[in-house]
Structure 1
Amino acid sequence: MSSIKVEIKINENIEQAYVVIYTNEINEEINEILLRLKENAEIIAVNEGEKIVILQKREIYMVRLEATELMIYTKDKSYKSKKRLYEIGEQLGSGFMQISKYAFINLKMVDSVEPFFNGVMNLKLKNGYTEYISRKYLPSFKKYLGI
């Protein structure tokens, strides 16, 4: 990436840092930069009625598909997102794990896990929310726990 030039401008009036890329074409180098920026993005935009709320990833406890709506749960609130579950999963990145076909959880927010029925486990988060870990995702969750 030696052909890439970087310029940083400091402006005290800017509340949230943003990146602008000037290029004459989208090439492999630019795609790599975009991928790295996307992986490192620390915010998730969600809907609260007509308002768009910006959440830090660390605030998110769980993302769950409920009927046709994608819900984002924080400590004491829930929000809607227009994105698909897999898109949010990609955006969340490390620190989050898919535990069922319908849910991702923040691994730092897990309070306890207990056996449920037919090889499924019930997971409780630190905010009191619960979700089931399906058999398909249980091996990777157990590996994470070291059991």
Structure 2
Amino acid sequence: MNRKQRRLYFVLLGLLALGAAATLVLTAISDSLVYFYTPSDLVSKQQPEGRRMRIGGLVQEHSVIRDGERVAFVVTDLRHSLPVRYAGVLPDLFREGQGVVVEGRLGADGTFQASEVLAKHDEKYMPKDVADALKKSGQWKPPAPAN
């Protein structure tokens, strides 16, 4: 084996190792991505069952049902609604009619099993993703001006 052939083998081996490393990194990144959807997005696009995602919208009025630490409520973008179940302590700012983002998995029965619930910070704040989705759906109501 001459010098040119050895050099070619080393370059090919290096490219193979680089390709394997890139594949591992991309696989790890795609496994940790959590996509954001609105209830309307879930209706229009078929999402794989059991995939981790975030759902954003408003907590529908008169939909919160508490049973100890278990809570069931409905997230809506004012076009479509999605039932959510959560076991745990809700944030202090969680209430009906307010913006919320829930993270978890969509079950086979169409109910979203939340592992985390994120509520807004004050009466003027709404998560950017939720506000953008409401604007896109034409249901955006800008916050009332402060007095």
Shared fold by TM > 0.5?
no
**Larger strand share, 1 or 2:** 1
State the TM-score, normalized to the length of structure 2.
Answer: 0.31
- Greater relative CO, 1 or 2 (CA 8 Å, sep 6+): 2
State the TM-score, normalized to the length of structure 1.
Answer: 0.31
Considering only CA atoms, is the larger Rg found in Structure 1 or Structure 2? 2
